A = this chain, B = another copy of it.
Amino acid sequence: MLNKENNMPLYRQLEELIQSNIETGVWNHGQLIPSESELIKQFGVSRTTVRQALGALVSYGILKREQGRGTFVAESKFEHPLTEVTSFTRDIQRKGHKPGSITLFAEEVVPSARVATKLELKEGETVIRLERLRTVDGEPVGLHTSSLVTSLVPGLDIAELRNNDVSLYEILLSRLKVPMSEAIDTLEASVTDDCRSRLLGVPKGSPVLRVERVAYLTNGRPVEHGEMIYNAGCYKSVIRLSVRQRND
């Protein structure tokens, strides 16, 4: 089951194993999973390791713990813990629809002042700019513009980005030397201009959800600036928030 020689820590392996048991339906939503002591026996690891794996899955909203009762697979209500950065492709697939993409632009360019500031770029630094029309089941729903700091994604092939079937995030995560750690999204309501109305196939001035994103590496460097514009009728953003008990 678990492999101590593997590079991946035991708790991480256990985490994925439990998650795959849920995804493949071995354990169903709302059901009790084996107790900590059973998992200890079954996988031959210590309680700390088991609890580290369970704790991570609880924080993702995949499991729920109840003292004295046991650990349960969370109800599907909390199935999509979208406090993680997700790829549009995966997100739409998970909802049972077919994501699509039409690349409008993919070049190495000098960024606008706004993007350069957000990405903390020095004079003369360039970005790889990718503009795509995103579709769901063939219908246009949004416009994505990504600017990647060229120097942080060495060897990224622009021709590869033009391929309409690639997931930008999967390429990014596999290519980056320093891993990505987090992103700040700013969401606001807006209305379409002339050009975007035509691309999205809606009347000029239609409401859209505009999301601006800056993604950071674990060393704190910004690596991507993104702008996502979604047709209001087609796309909502769902976020799971935690309530921190305060004593102040």
A161-175 vs B, Cβ < 8 Å mask (1 yes, 0 no): 000000000000100
User: Are B239 and A187 touching (Cβ within 8 A)?
Assistant: yes
Q: Across the interface, name the chain B residue whose C-beta is closest to A207.
A: B189
Quick one: given A75-B220, A78-B182, are A244 and B188 in contact (CB under 8 Å)?
no
Quick one: given A181-B242, A239-B239, are A189 and B190 in contact (CB under 8 Å)?
yes
Q: Across the interface, name the chain B residue whose C-beta is closest to A48.
A: B48
Q: Does A110 contact B (CB under 8 A)?
A: no
Quick one: given A59-B59, A78-B182, are A84 and B187 in contact (CB under 8 Å)?
no
Q: Does A60 contact B (CB under 8 A)?
A: yes
Q: Does A26 contact B (CB under 8 A)?
A: no
- Interface residues in A, total, Cβ within 8 A: 49
By a CB distance below 8 angstroms, the chain B residues around A16 are: 247-248
Interchain CA distance A188-B237 in the complex, whole Å: 6
Quick one: given A209-B189, A238-B186, are A83 and B83 in contact (CB under 8 Å)?
yes
Most buried by B among A64, A78, A207: A207
Of the residues B64, B75, B182, B237, contact of A187 by C-beta under 8 Å: B237
User: Are B183 and A241 touching (Cβ within 8 A)?
Assistant: yes
- Minimum CB–CB distance from A57 to chain B (whole Å) comes to 11
User: Are A180 and B243 touching (Cβ within 8 A)?
Assistant: yes
User: Are A243 and B220 touching (Cβ within 8 A)?
Assistant: no
Interchain CA distance A237-B242 in the complex, whole Å: 16
Interchain CA distance A180-B181 in the complex, whole Å: 28
Q: Which residues, 2 to 55 on A, are CB-close (under 8 Å) to B?
A: 8, 16, 48
User: Are B189 and A242 touching (Cβ within 8 A)?
Assistant: no
Besides the known contacts A59-B59, A185-B239, 11 further A-B residue pairs in the complex with CB atoms under 8 A apart: A60-B244, A83-B83, A83-B240, A182-B240, A186-B238, A187-B187, A187-B238, A187-B239, A188-B235, A189-B210, A191-B207
